[in-house]
Amino acid sequence: MARRAECIGVRKTELPASNMFALALLAGAFIALGAVFATTVAAGTSDAMPYGVVKLLVGLVFSLGLILVIVGE
């Protein structure tokens, strides 16, 4: 797993600046998507569920954006 991460890191250092810029824009869009989804979940469930459950769901849903950034290489 460490060797794979190393290979991916080396490959990313060799990308042209235009590709890195596009990846940065996509990463920002993925984080924004996770934030919007988390806000939607929080707004729609605040009265129907207990406080702790809502916070847990919001955290899980927001992590979707982080996962998309990692998987989106």
pLDDT of 73 strictly over 70: no
Angle in degrees, 0-180, between the axes of helices 17-45 and 51-71, rounded to the nearest 10 = 160
Cα dihedral 36→39→43→47 (10° resolution): 140
Q: Model-level pTM?
A: 0.76
pLDDT of 32 strictly over 90: yes
Closest by CA to 68, choosing from 29, 41, 21, is 29
Question: Where in the chain are the domains?
Answer: 17-71
pLDDT of 72 strictly over 80: no
Please state, in angstroms and rounded to a whole number, the distance separating the CA atoms of residues 36 and 50.
21
pLDDT of 70 strictly over 80: yes
Question: Between these two residues, 46 and 7, which has the higher pLDDT value?
Answer: 7
Q: Given the structure tokens 């927001």, which residue do they identify? A: 62
